[in-house]
Amino acid sequence: DAGVTQSPTHLIKTRGQQVTLRCSPKSGHDTVSWYQQALGQGPQFIFQYYEEEERQRGNFPDRFSGHQFPNYSSELNVNALLLGDSALYLCASSGLGLAGASSYNEQFFGPGTRLTVL
């Protein structure tokens, strides 16, 4: 079991550009959540996808958008990048459709994508 995988591991962009980050959930999981972790801070919830729909959203602007595919993998898109978007972007998967199972209560995190905006 490969666990949660994310790509790329590192990325450098300039202000105003757009970026797409990718996540493959742990085998058997149907839900993907995205978090932003600024240096020295705890992760902040961006949004969660289940059945290809956004189910919950944190306090992030519309420049942050996402998508989930039929195979449960997900993408995070950020438009019009700002310097403040520089952070570690974490993807976490869980089994939302499996209420009562351990995979419902536990979110498994990937290693993250380090985004640097210059």
Partner 1 sequence: DAKTTQPPSMDCAEGRAANLPCNHSTISGNEYVYWYRQIHSQGPQYIIHGLKNNETNEMASLIITEDRKSSTLILPHATLRDTAVYYCIVRTPVLMDSSYKLIFGSGTRLLVRP
Which positions touch partner 1 (CB under 8 A)? 4, 31, 33, 35, 41-45, 48, 50, 55-56, 58, 90, 92, 96-97, 99, 104-112
C-alpha–C-alpha distance, residues 25 and 6, integer Å? 9
Reduced 3-state DSSP string for 14-25: CCCCCEEEEEEC
Q: Give the closest residue to 107 by CA, choosing from 42, 48, 41, 21.
A: 48
Nearest to 37 by CA among 82, 4, 86: 86
For residues 62 and 99, which CB has a smaller minimum distance to partner 1 in the complex?
Answer: 99
Residue 22 or 45 with smaller CB distance to partner 1: 45
User: Which lies closer to partner 1 via its Cβ, residue 19 or residue 90?
Assistant: 90
* C-alpha distances in Å from residue 104, one per residue of 13, 43, 54: 35, 20, 17
Least Å from the CB of residue 16 to partner 1: 28
Smallest gap, in angstroms, from Cβ of residue 108 to partner 1?
Answer: 7
**Least CB distance to partner 1 at residue 97 (A):** 7
Q: What's the min distance (Å) between Cβ of 80 and partner 1?
A: 25
Tokens found for residue 71: 């195979």
Q: Which is nearer to partner 1, 4 or 18 (CB)?
A: 4
